[in-house]
Amino acid sequence: MKYEKLLKSKMSAESFERLAALKNPKVMEFVGFFAEHCDPDSIYVCTDSEEDMKYVRQQALALGEEWPMRYPNHTVHWDSYYDQGRDKNATKYLVYKENLERMKALNSIEYETGIKEILDISAGIMRGKQAVVLFFAEGPTESPFTIPCVQFTDSWYVAHSEYILYRSAYNHFLKMKDSEKDDFFRFIHSAGRLDENNNSVDLDKRRVYIDTQNNIVYSMNNQYAGNSVGLKKHSMRLAINKSGQEGWLCEHMFIMAAVNEEKNRKTYFCGAYPSACGKTSTAMIPGELIVGDDIAYFRNINGEFRAVNVENGMFGIIKDVNAKDDPVIFKNLMKDQEVIFSNVLVGPDGMPYWLGMGVEAPDEGRNHFGKWHRGVKDSDGNVVDIAHPNARYTMRLDYLDNIDKEGFESKTGVKVEGILYGGRDSDTTVPIEESPNWKDGILLKACTLESETTSATLGAEGVRVSNPMANIDFVSYPLGQYTINNIRFVDGMREVPKIFSTNYFMRGRDGKFITSKLAKKVWLHWAEGRIHGEFDAYETPTGRIPKYEDLVMLFKKYLNEDFSKETYDYLFTFRCSKWIAKLERTKAFYAKTDPNTPKEIFDYWDAAIAKIAAAKEKYGDEILPGAYHG
């Protein structure tokens, strides 16, 4: 074996033996190549054992990548002040010359140029460090959904995060048949040179290069988990491409179960929401059950639409998690159980503090800026807040009391009956609308997803940003083909989930939100009832909406609130011109993002626009619920 001598010189006999036991030449080649190229002083190989998990956490602490806190099971990790989010510019696809034309709308770099650049950047990058090799699975292990993955990194924080976020899969690798041994994802990562705070310093050389042709991702000179943790967003891009070739789907979706106690039934929903559109809060609606909060794989298993949560834990945004709005997560973060906090403030009491926590923060402590006190300014003269708005928590999902254990642990996933696409606009989309069929749902609900910028985001307020399937950052092959694959996925299935759109952000004439945050429970239960054939609906030019009396009943039942006819009429009015404008924006976005989008898709939107225009002629620009009859 080409790298045997080298690997033996960098590994204990035990680590080498663990690697050799896999009898997987491609794993050996991957580890050997980067052992030579990145040149760490030593390499530790992990199995699925409890001791290895503990060792990784202990190393993260010993090396100062994580810090102890007041509770023994809590640690904190700080990323560089300038490495606090996904680096979209430096994240590129490595594309063979012959595929460049097809991939040109995606942020791509020609393969030979890109591979030379990333290999130059990573030559010797691990010198002086101990690296670690880990085996994980996307999805449950030993299941029809499993994608085995190998992570090679010099960041023990990355390794520790992955132990919390994914199912460990050394044993899965051991059991792989010869015919399967080629098919896994590979992630090579280095935090690069570190400063005295253990932060990556060469951010000008920060790169995330994704090779979907060979299922390998190179990530250099970063630490923020969205840039560094291979199994999170890098793997998602590889999986989207792979699923496109193999006829399944990888979606940026939560999985949850709506619980109907009266009828004694559990109905599984998946949901895609661009950020700040209510994704986690929908997955965590009180009284319902959660299976996953971020990424789902869908497969047709014996004619059934089934989904698994790809992950084992949450890398959640901590801002605004507080006892009132997010009691389940808040309670778990305040317990002495394993959590990695990132980019929060740690006060003199050793406790974490963050924005929107609902607890008074101390005047000093340590955060992503370093030693912090109230009013301190960064080198650009900006006052540094107590924590970064993208500060996070990394925690196992099964700590939550509202976990759906049955669905979470199932090797064949859960049977999905409803899909929610949740956008954010102040004046167009109704709170909930059902699609008459799957294709309509994809083209009119999923493809048209938009979020509207608020005063909390940078830039102008009220701008609508298109985000088809809430997946636009991760779609790794042309958008038009991805859309077609979404449409075709259900071909031949016995039962197809119903698709719904949601919008929790409609504002009244006074500019204020109309319903409380909890109203999403009512919309969910209307959808749940529809799936089981229980409520009547009114037609609109784009789908079906609830009747007033059903919502009155649901608001009373779930929230003990009165729901007025006036509010109903306002919320569920169909706004023709606004919808036409929305479809025009979607068309323009597709034309720009993937000029090769099949004509049939544009024709479909043109037909929808014509239908709405005809409705406007007949009924006026604003159509009250119940008034439209085709």
What's the rounded Cα separation, in Å, for the pair 588 and 468? 12
- The residue of the chain with the least Cβ separation from Mn ion equals 294
Nearest by Cα to 291 from 315, 323, 320, 313: 313
Shortest Cβ 212–ligand OXD spacing (Å): 19
Q: Pick from ligand OXD, Mn ion, none: which does 366 bind, CB < 5 to 8 A by kind?
A: none
Nearer to ligand OXD, 59 or 227 (CB): 227
Site string (69-98) toward ligand OXD, x via CB under 6 A = -----------------x------------
**CA-CA-CA-CA torsion sign (370, 376, 379, 382):** positive
| C-beta closer to ligand OXD: residue 317 or 571 | 317
- Our CB check for Mn ion shows the closer of 226 and 480 to be 226
Least gap, CB of 432 to Mn ion (angstroms): 23
Asked if 417 and 498 count as a contact pair (C-beta separation under 8 A), the reply is: yes
Q: Which CB sits closer to ligand OXD, 59 or 219?
A: 219
Q: For residues 224 and 572, which CB has a smaller minimum distance to ligand OXD in the complex?
A: 224
Residue closest to ligand OXD when measured from CB atoms: 294
C-beta of residue 31 within 8 angstroms of C-beta of residue 7: yes
CA geometry: angle at 136 spanning 130 and 140, to 5°? Answer: 165
Q: Name which of Mn ion, ligand OXD, none residue 226 binds, using a CB cut-off of 5 to 8 Å depending on partner kind.
A: ligand OXD
Cβ distance 168 to 134 under 8 Å? yes
For 14-47, b/e burial (b = at least 16 CB within 10 A) is ebbebbbebebeebbebbbebbeebbbeebbbbb
Site for ligand OXD in 399-418 (CB under 6 A): none
Give dist(CA 550, CA 547) in Å, integer.
6
Task: Give min distance, CB of 457 to ligand OXD, in A.
Answer: 14
Any contact of residue 313 with ligand OXD (CB under 6 A)?
Answer: no
Task: In whole angstroms, give the CA distance from residue 417 to residue 267.
Answer: 7
* Among candidate residues 238, 350, 341, 349, the one with its CA nearest the CA of residue 295: 238
Contacting residues toward Mn ion, per CB under 5 A: 294
Cβ 237 to ligand OXD, closest distance in Å? Answer: 12
- For residue 354, give the nearest of 333, 335, 338, 380 by alpha carbon: 333
Closer to Mn ion by CB, 132 or 149: give it: 149
Q: Residue 46 and residue 239: Cα distance in Å, rounded?
A: 24
Closest approach of ligand OXD to the CB of residue 400, in Å: 17
Nearer to ligand OXD, 39 or 311 (CB): 311
Name the residue among 182, 292, 190, 302 with its Cα closest to residue 242. 182
Of the candidates 38, 149, 270, 277, the residue annotated as catalytic is 277
The residue from 114, 139, 148, 226 that contacts ligand OXD (CB under 6 A) is: 226
Are the C-beta atoms of 198 and 94 separated by less than 8 Å? no
β-strand pairing of 296-301 with 304-309: antiparallel
**At closest approach, how far in Å is the CB of 315 from ligand OXD?**
6
Interstrand relation of 185-190 and 147-153 (parallel, antiparallel or unpaired): parallel
Q: Are 584 and 608 in contact (CB under 8 A)?
A: no
Q: For residue 235, give both structure tokens.
A: 């793997």
Site for ligand OXD, residues 25 to 64, rule: CB under 6 A: none
Q: Which is nearer to ligand OXD, 22 or 296 (CB)?
A: 296
> Is 250 assigned a catalytic role?
no
Least distance to ligand OXD, CB of residue 235, Å = 12
Query: Over the Cα atoms of the chain, what is R_g?
Result: 25
Minimum CB distance to ligand OXD, residue 86 (Å): 6
In 363-403, alpha helices (H): none
Among 48, 154, 294, 452, binds ligand OXD (CB under 6 A): 294
- Token pair, residue 154, equals 């010099």
Our CB check for ligand OXD shows the closer of 226 and 431 to be: 226
Q: What is the DSSP letter of 443?
A: I
CA distances from 85 to 90, 322, 383, 475 (A): 12, 22, 19, 18
For ligand OXD, what does the binding mask look like between residues 431 and 460, x meaning CB under 6 A?
------------------------------
CA–CA–CA angle 404, 499, 448 (5° rounding):
120
- Tell me how far CA of residue 44 lies from CA of 15, 63, 66, 131, 520, in angstroms: 6, 15, 19, 6, 47
Please, which residue, 315 or 568, has the CB nearer to ligand OXD? 315
Is there a contact between 283 and 317 (Cβ–Cβ < 8 Å)?
A: no
Angle at 223 between CA 69 and CA 251, to 5 degrees: 105
Residues near ligand OXD (CB under 6 A): 86, 226, 294, 315
| Active-site annotation, residues | 277
